[in-house]
Structure formats: structure tokens, C-alpha cells
Amino acid sequence: MKSGSRVLARLAAVTLLSTFASVAVAADDPAVPSSGASVLAWSPVQQAWGYRNMEALFPVKVVARGAEVRPLPVADKAIDPSFTFRGETYDTTAYMEAFRASGVLVIKNGRIILERYGLGRGPKDRWTSFSVAKSVTSTLIGAAIEDGKIASLADRVTRYIPELKGSAYEGVTVRQLITMTSGVKWNEDYTDLNSDVAKVGLTILEPGVNPVVSYMRRLPRQAPPGTKFVYKTGETDLAGILLSNAVGKPMAEYLSEKIWKPYGMERDGVWMEDLAGHERGGCCISMTLRDYGRFGQFMLDGGRAGGKPVVPRGWIADATAPHVKKPPYGYFWWLLPDGYEGEGIFGQTVSVFPRDHLVVVINSAWGKAWDEDIDAARMKYLAAIRAAAK
């Protein structure tokens, strides 16, 4: 059984999205979510359309691709792993049908050994990441350190977000922010409409100040910095604001400059904005299945793009080390026994297994934001993929 913190982590982004989801598209097609519909309330048909068309429903910034595309050659031999779960045997087709996967991609030694699509999605279609974006945000913080825009993870958060001076974030370091150990009090109860996660960033409290910053600087301290892990969706968006302040440009532009163009992503990405028009550090980059794979391969390659290091030497190992023991957590990465993964609600994962030289991407439209049974089946499928790829 996974910890409650980990379950709530996946659900938190949807709580915010459900409030922001005043849909700009009006259509009679039942596949298009109707005006005011929340992400949590989308039907299976609406999920399949909406997850691959988020830019038609929400304000976004574009992550521009470059002139060249990094090839992902197809291996001579493909795999089709199978596994048994609760008395039923599943191959990839059966897994995707049973658990509503829109894409499965497996890359071994830089070559595709499995690629499948479902739910009406094709190779050129983007799909939302939900909280996989958090892992991208922490990687960009590493890039900002390599560029000298952030001096150190030991820097105080207030150096980059001066509006937090005098708040409970006084004395909190960048490292404590991206491991969610700030010690600031927070209520992540997505069932409580008065919880912090239900209210953060939804109102312009102070003109000229990002509403997330305005809300977060009003929170009290609960524990000394560095002593207590509490999953805080608001802090992942705060990390994004810190990053863009440090580099002096939008997150989408920086992501394009540091990874999208030099690593050779095949299609523009899109990144959802908050109420103030700032990209959400904690949610909702959309990209193609192969571009998710390229991001995983970028991590596996040690964080290099265009022949140059994007992040400092040793950053990948540090970012995916257990800075938090329970639950095992790095810098916005969830840790696996033999690897690590970015995870998003409704079944979005980018899993990296360094010793296997393996990247596995699964995009889905689960019926629930989080489901223990489906995730247990996913872990069985991951194990079968790893065994078949040896």
C-alpha cells in the first residue's frame, strides 16, 4: 500500500484544474468537454479528446521545437511482454484496453522496442502530463544552476522570490522547496473545499503579485525547514515562479532553449498557465509519446543536449537520490527500487531504469485520478517489460 501522501500527490493537480476548468471551447460534439466542466468530471470520451487537446481548453505557452529532430530508431526485434494479474493474463493490447492507455513506448539502448497507441491517439498527438511536469521543473532548476542563474540549492528561496521575505519561507532553501520539506503548514486534502490545495492561486489577492505567491506567503510554519515532508502542490508552482525569476524568461522559453531544441524534440510542446499567465511548475505540459520518451532518454543520457551538459555534473544522480525516505522522493521525482519516474494523475508516467538502459512511457485516461489496483497492474506490466527487454 502506498502512503497517503503519494496518493494525494497525484490527486492535487486535478483539484486545482477542476476550479480553473472554465472551458473556452463550445461544441455539440460530446467528446469536447462542455463549458465549466472539471477535469475530474470528464467522461471517458471527453478524456480521450481533452487530454490530447488541452491547448484548445486552457491558456498555454508553447515550448518551441527546433529545426532538427532526434531520431528514435526502431530496433530489429520488438517485445510484447505479458503478465498475470489477479488471475488474468495481459499482453500489451489487453493491458491498454483494460486500463485505458493511449500510448506505451519502451526505449532500450536508445532504440524503440515497443510502441503502441490507443483511444484514438496517433504518433503526432500530444497528451497531457499532469504532474510529470514537476519533474521537468526540477530538471530546469538544475539547468539554471549550470547556467549560473541559481547559485546553489543552498540559496534561500527569498533570494529569487523576494515577496516571500518575512513569511514562513524565510530561511527555506531551494533544496527544501524541491523536496517539499519547507516546514510550511499546508493542507492537501482535496475533499475539503477550504483546504490550501483547493484555494491556492485562484484569486488575485494583490495586484502585481502572482496569486500563488500571495497565498503561500500567508501560510504559517509547522516544522523547522528540512525536517518534515508534506506534499504541497502550491510549492511546485512556487518552484516554477522561482525558476522563471532566476532565468529572466518564461519557463516554456527556457525549456525550449535548454532541452526541446538542442535535444531534438519532434513537436512543439504546450504548457498550461496559471491565473496570472505563468506556466504551472507543477502541472500540465503536453507532448507526443516519443517526446516523453526523449525526455526520459535525456535523463538517461546524463542531462546532455546538443553535445553540451544542460545540468551540472552529478545532477541526475542527486535529483533521483532519496532526499526523502518515506515516501522515497528526490527533486520532484518519485523513486523506484531500481530507477525513478515522473508521475501524473489518471495514469501518466515516465519511468527510467538506468541499469537497464531503459525508458518506459505510459499515457492513460484512467477512470479515477488515482487507483491502487490499476497502479498495481502497471507495476506488474513494468516488471514484465524489464524482463522482456533484457
Cα gap 316→303, rounded to integer Å: 7
What's the pLDDT at 340?
98
Q: Is the pLDDT of residue 319 over 50?
A: yes
Q: Is the pLDDT of residue 22 over 50?
A: no
Nearest-CA neighbor of 219 among 204, 246, 238, 241?
A: 238
Average pLDDT of span 358-366: 98
Average pLDDT of span 195-207: 85
Q: Is the pLDDT of residue 1 over 50?
A: no
Task: Show the cell assigned to 219.
Answer: 501560510
Per-residue model confidence as pLDDT tens digits over 51-81: 999 999 999 999 999 999 999 999 999 999 9
> Which H or E run includes 253?
helix 251-255
Per-residue model confidence as pLDDT tens digits over 96-146: 999 999 999 999 999 999 999 999 999 999 999 999 999 999 999 999 999
Is 110 within 8 Å of 365 (Cβ atoms)?
no
What's the pLDDT at 190?
65
Q: Is the pLDDT of residue 221 over 80?
A: yes
Q: Average model confidence (pLDDT) for the chain? A: 92
Is 329 within 8 Å of 134 (Cβ atoms)?
no
Q: Which residues pair with 84 in a beta bridge?
A: 89
Cα gap 35→268, rounded to integer Å: 26
> What is the fold, at CATH topology level, of the domain defined by 4-75+90-388?
Beta-lactamase (3.40.710)
Q: How many CB atoms lie within 10 A of CB 220?
A: 9
Q: Which residue has the higher pLDDT, 57 or 18?
A: 57
Is 182 within 8 Å of 235 (Cβ atoms)?
yes
pLDDT bin (cut points 50, 70, 90) of residue 20 is low
Question: In which residue are the cell numbers 524534440 written?
Answer: 265
Could you give the C-alpha distances from 237 to 2, 76, 131, 273, in angstroms and in order?
Answer: 24, 42, 11, 10
Question: In which residue are the cell numbers 500571495 written?
Answer: 214
Average pLDDT of span 169-178: 98
Per-residue model confidence as pLDDT tens digits over 224-274: 999 999 999 899 999 999 999 999 999 999 999 999 999 999 999 999 998
Is 361 within 8 Å of 368 (Cβ atoms)?
no
E strand intervals along 25-91: 60-63, 83-85, 88-90
How far does CA 285 lie from the centroid of its chain? 7
pLDDT bin (cut points 50, 70, 90) of residue 3 is very low
Average pLDDT of span 157-185: 98
Sign of dihedral through CA atoms 160, 162, 164, 170?
Answer: positive
pLDDT bin (cut points 50, 70, 90) of residue 12 is low
Cα gap 236→240, rounded to integer Å: 7
Strands ordered across the beta sheet of 111-117: 111-117, 101-108, 358-364, 348-353, 339-344, 334-336
Share of the chain above pLDDT 90, in %: 82
Is 27 within 8 Å of 40 (Cβ atoms)?
no
Nearest-CA neighbor of 98 among 327, 351, 380?
A: 380
